[in-house]
């Protein structure tokens, strides 16, 4: 018999664009939401969302990571991958066995680290194609409604993912629990590996990559290596399918500044260690070389000092 998870009070770690969006969406369906920050600037944060001509806002309580009242579950983690380990490490002693942690972030590697630290937690992952940007820290502007997929690795986690999807669907958004979330995360990772660092290398919008033969050739070699690693990890993929998918996303998001280019422009650490750097780490585990991914990882790392990597 699977226990019905209590999903009435969400804690959100890292309320940036996606975390802030889900704070407002969950509040709109009657959930309590508490924001957790490393060093809160104030005890409340007013988040505002503009979606076409409609605007909504709410004041959320904000607590420091080491002072949040228990229980912290369910905990939605939307921090950038590189910022996650430090701040989750501070929360780990305060999470109980069975607590729900849902990771909704770009890149891969954090869930493996968390499972090693705390195999007793329910660790779910999610990916989204929602587009939202922040003209200011607390103002979110919806660029496009996408789809959010979630899932877990065990039967209990999968059941929880279904409960969460059912709850989140009440916001009117497209949310689904899927049984192959890891495969889908790998596919998303492949697209990020092929687009993000190249937009940073060439300082261009996503669509401009399609007009540069050298960028397309680099995309293809990155995809070939990712396909090899994916296949060794048990998620068979071909170079052509990953390359075509990356080109299609670059076309659909032609005018976007990728998250990695935005990080470079703002002189923030990038997520390279959790994208192409993750490919290099996984390849090494399988005893193969991934020179294109290694080269671009080193190049992007050199543009900005990275936080200590988990990989």
Q: Tokens in use for 268?
A: 């923030």
CB environment 251-262: b (16+ within 10 A), e (fewer): eebeebbbbbbb
What is the spatial distance between Cα 15 and Cα 243, in angstroms, rounded to a whole number?
A: 32
Q: How far is the CB of 289 from ligand PAF (least distance, A)?
A: 25
What is the spatial distance between Cα 78 and Cα 21, in angstroms, rounded to a whole number?
A: 10
Q: Which residues bind ligand PAF (CB under 6 A)?
A: 106, 191-192, 195-196, 206, 249, 253, 256, 258-259
Q: How far is the CB of 4 from ligand PAF (least distance, A)?
A: 34
Q: How far is the CB of 42 from ligand PAF (least distance, A)?
A: 29
Which residue's CB is nearer to ligand PAF, number 164 or number 260? 260
Q: Tokens in use for 128?
A: 């989204």
In this structure, the strands spanning 100-104 and 9-13 are unpaired
What is the spatial distance between Cα 239 and Cα 252, in angstroms, rounded to a whole number?
A: 20
Which residue's CB is nearer to ligand PAF, number 26 or number 190? 190
Q: How far is the CB of 188 from ligand PAF (least distance, A)?
A: 7
Q: Collapse the DSSP code of 95 into the 3-class scheme (helix H, G, I; strand E, B; otherwise coil) and give the result.
A: coil
Which residue's CB is nearer to ligand PAF, number 15 or number 261? 261
Q: Tokens in use for 215?
A: 């960028």
Beta bridge partners of 49: 56, 140
Which residue's CB is nearer to ligand PAF, number 74 or number 107? 107
Which residue's CB is nearer to ligand PAF, number 7 or number 216? 216
Active site residue 170: no
What is the spatial distance between Cα 87 and Cα 37, in angstroms, rounded to a whole number?
A: 8
| Among 80, 170, 188, 285, the one annotated catalytic | 188
Residue 113 belongs to what H/E stretch?
Answer: helix 110-117
Residues annotated catalytic, as ranges? 188
């Amino acid at each position: 018999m699977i226990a019905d998870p209590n999903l009435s009070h969400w804690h959100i770690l890292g309320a940036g664009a996606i975390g802030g969006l889900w704070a407002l969406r969950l509040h709109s369906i009657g959930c309590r939401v508490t924001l957790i920050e490393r060093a809160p600037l104030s005890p409340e944060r007013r988040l505002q969302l503009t979606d076409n001509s409609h605007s909504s806002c709410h004041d959320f309580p904000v607590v420091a990571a080491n002072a949040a009242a228990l229980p912290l579950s369910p905990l939605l983690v939307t921090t950038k991958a590189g910022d996650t380990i430090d701040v989750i490490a501070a929360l780990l002693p305060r999470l109980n066995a069975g607590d729900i942690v849902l990771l909704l972030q770009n890149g891969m590697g954090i869930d493996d680290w968390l499972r090693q630290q705390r195999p007793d937690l329910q660790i779910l992952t999610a990916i989204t194609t929602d587009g939202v940007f922040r003209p200011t820290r607390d103002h979110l502007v919806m660029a496009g409604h996408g789809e959010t997929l979630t899932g877990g690795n065990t039967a209990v986690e999968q059941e929880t993912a279904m409960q969460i999807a059912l709850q989140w669907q009440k916001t009117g958004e497209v949310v689904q629990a899927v049984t192959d979330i890891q495969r889908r995360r790998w596919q998303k990772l492949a697209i990020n590996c092929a687009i993000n660092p190249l937009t940073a290398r060439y300082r261009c919008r996503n669509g401009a990559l399609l007009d540069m033969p050298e960028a397309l050739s680099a995309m293809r070699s990155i995809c070939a290596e990712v396909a090899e690693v994916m296949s060794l990890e048990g998620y068979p993929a071909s170079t052509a399918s990953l390359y075509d998918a990356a080109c299609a996303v670059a076309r659909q998001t032609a005018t976007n500044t990728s998250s990695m280019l935005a990080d470079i422009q703002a002189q923030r650490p990038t997520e390279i260690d959790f994208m192409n750097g993750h490919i290099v780490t996984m390849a090494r585990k399988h005893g193969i070389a991934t020179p294109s991914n290694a080269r671009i990882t080193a190049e992007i790392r050199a543009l900005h000092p990275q936080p200590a990597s988990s990989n």
